[in-house]
Structure 1
């Protein structure tokens, strides 16, 4: 799994850099607070976050992309790897909201998600998703602690 994880981190770093460099361009979009319907990939993110919060490893794993599906022998192994890789703030968050997203073609997107932790810490994540045969699936997440406190 080492080379897969290294490749995934490199890909996320490149996409994160490109995502942050995009100004208010035509394809980068802010999610309005009063949005009527979420983007289709956002419901996948919501569902995976909820599965992590309730410690439902099989459900969380079901929203992971094909690369994760073949790299982990079980949902529990995936879940434990996510916890030990530093993503516990997502699982322990009290709330999350969607920020900008950047379409990376017809079947890929980078989605900003902001989290408020139980201790009121702020985190920001960039979710990479791709549309696979079974719908939108999470390909990777880059998480960073932010300055300030949330309410």
Structure 2
């Protein structure tokens, strides 16, 4: 019985919230150097502003988001639904040098586009990954 309960708990923890696919998709696109795909996960305002994907990636990097672009790994932390179509999601990242970072993503479920990144705040956390 305990094994069955543990299996249910594991599956529940592994269930992905719909906006997490957007965050993961954008992070993986940045890591692989696919600026076009990374821009595709951004909100419509970003897409209109940065019609050139390479310019988008360069701007994101120059604004200090390199630890996301070059991250080794990421995991999801707490989230808060701020409206039916809006969420704030915490993401823990391991930067390229093993430093730890916390990113707070603001996502909106845009009509016809689905969940899209509308903003990110990044800060370095204490410690190093193992």
Q: TM-score range by the shorter chain?
A: 0.7 to 0.9
Give deviations 1:67-111, integer Å, cap 9, x for gaps: 101111311111110010100001111110000000011000000
TM-score by length of 1: 0.76
Q: Which has the higher contact order (CA 8 A, sep 6+)?
A: 1
Between the two proteins, the alignment pairs up a number of residues equal to 120
Q: Name 1:105's counterpart in structure 2.
A: 83
Query: Corresponding residue for 2:3?
Result: none
C-alpha separation between the residues in 2 aligned to 1:98 and 1:129? 14
1:118 to 87, 96, 112: 96
Question: Which aligned runs of 4 or more in structure 1 are off by greater than 2 angstroms?
Answer: none
**Deviation string, structure 1 residues 114-144 (Cα, Å, up to 9, x no partner):** 0012211000000000000210000010000
Structure whose alpha-carbon radius of gyration is higher = 2
In the superposition, the TM-score normalised over structure 2's length comes to 0.88
